Amino acid sequence: MATDCELCNPVTESVLWQDAFCRVTLVDDSDYPGYCRVILERHVSEMTDLSAPERARLMDAVFAAEAVLREVLAPDKINLASLGNVVAHLHWHVIPRYRDDRHFPKAIWAKPSRPPSGRGAPDADRLARALKRRLGSPD
């Protein structure tokens, strides 16, 4: 735990699934409905700071989030990224992308290409149930 880390000390988060190792949250981003984060509970910076089984466990949650977003939202593409330049606490961005979204085909961190598509927020309960089916009941 790092006292000044916003992922160690979350204020408001919409948690879809969680166990003692990691959590999956739904990001409140009107440009990117369904945008999820998979956040390691421990304060660790890089994937290669984890053991191989820990890396596999975290990626299992990332790929479960990808699978659920594809199943529920049928986006045109999924983007996965672990950056952590601002908050060096391992977290994965799992982002459903659409051809008419604000930045497509650019990364969501680029300058926008067009106005928001106005696509609505997904049903968080449905995403949470689908994650539970894939990842099991939280601890």
Q: Binders of a copy of itself: how many residues, by CB under 8 A?
A: 30
- Closest C-alpha to 93, from 108, 103, 105: 108
Q: Which of 95, 90, 92 is nearest to 110 (CA)?
A: 95
SS3 89: coil
With contacts defined by CB under 8 A, name the span among 14-22, 25-33, 83-91, 122-130 that binds a copy of itself: 83-91
Is residue 44 at the binding interface for a copy of itself, with CB under 8 A as the rule? no
Binders of a copy of itself among 89-118, rule CB under 8 A? 97, 104-107, 109-111
Q: Does 81 bind a copy of itself (CB under 8 A)?
A: yes
Cα separations (Å) of 31 from 5, 96, 98, 102? 25, 11, 11, 7
Q: Which is nearer to a copy of itself, 56 or 124 (CB)?
A: 56
Distance CA(35)–CA(13), nearest Å, equals 13
Q: What is the contact surface with a copy of itself in residues (CB under 8 A)? A: 45-48, 55-56, 59, 63, 66-67, 70, 77-86, 88, 97, 104-107, 109-111
